[in-house]
Amino acid sequence: MLKKTLIGTAIAATLAVFVFGKDVFSYATTSASSVREAVKSEVPLEFEIERARNLVGNLMPDIRHCMHVTAEQQVDIEHLTADINRKETEIGLQKGQILALRSDLAGGDETFVYASRKYTSDEVKRDLATRFERFKSAQENLARDKQILVAREKALRANQKKLDDMFVAKQDLEVKLEQLDAKLKTIQAAETVSELEIDDSQLSQAKQLIKALNREMDVRQTKLDNEGKFTGLIPVDAADVVPTNIGEQIDDYFGPTKIEDEPNVIRIDAAAL
């Protein structure tokens, strides 16, 4: 199966080279780019906004790590500061002891008594030399610790700034996401209104249907009213009305004429009736 697939791929590649020539790579990359753009354009904006919100939420592990590193640096600085203060106190005591022995030797005595024990001047000199070397070494260590403290404090300030910047950036991105979400909802609402204004075929059909239904109801109501005039109603206005001014109506219509003047009028003998 794998062999057939490889053979098919090779044949397709050969045909592509034969058809497109040396431009086959350009066609392939352009096609892939077009496919990517087409797929991306079909992704809903709501999904993209949610993806951006997840990316912003994924910043929290980095923020927590930076917070942990900053807390460790603060503790280390506190411990180093306390150690430096202790060393400075010890160095101060050593300096006092060195100066005391130096002062004793300056007096020119051959023996000295310290803590109920007698020491010769040579023993005091050797002890003073040892103390002085240790003092200088302690001072060098103290200087290095102070340099380390300065470097750690600098790193702490840098991490604190980084942490603050990350918090500010995250909050700024959250605000922008909310604005983007509100903007999308506004656009969607406007698109809904626009679609109603442009495509009103369903609205027109609904109006026509309601109009037709109203007409059908009016026709039925009129039919019922007409049927009611002939069935089931008392004929109140069915009395024979005799006109009282028929003569005047005729004279007004034909004018004041005599019957003898009308040759086409046939006289009717009332007696013959």
The residue ranges of every structural domain in the chain are: 1-42, 43-201
Q: Is 111 left (phi over 0), alpha (psi -120 to 50) or beta?
A: beta
The CATH code of the domain at 43-201 is: 1.10.287.1700
CA 12 centroid distance within chain: 45
Q: Mind listing the pLDDT tens digit for each residue in 30-81? A: 554 554 555 455 668 788 878 888 888 888 888 899 999 999 999 999 999 9
State how far the Cα of 229 lies from the Cα of 119, in Å rounded to an integer. Answer: 151
- The pairs formed by 131-138 with CB atoms below 8 angstroms and a separation of 24 or more are 131/94, 131/97, 131/98, 131/101, 132/98, 134/94, 135/91, 135/94, 135/95, 135/98, 138/87, 138/90, 138/91, 138/94
> What string of pLDDT tens digits covers the 273 residues of the chain?
555 555 555 555 555 555 555 555 554 555 545 545 554 556 687 888 788 888 888 888 888 999 999 999 999 999 999 999 999 999 999 999 999 999 999 988 899 999 999 999 999 999 999 999 999 999 999 999 999 999 999 999 999 999 999 889 888 888 888 888 888 888 888 877 666 555 556 667 777 878 788 888 888 888 777 766 555 555 555 555 666 777 677 777 777 655 555 555 555 454 444
Using only C-alpha atoms, the chain has a radius of gyration, in whole angstroms, of 58
Write b or e for each residue in 43-63: b if 16 or more Cβ atoms lie within 10 A of its Cβ, otherwise e: eeeeeebeeebeebeeeeeee
Answering whether pTM is above 0.75, one says: no
- Of 132, 110, 136, the residue nearest 123 (C-alpha): 110
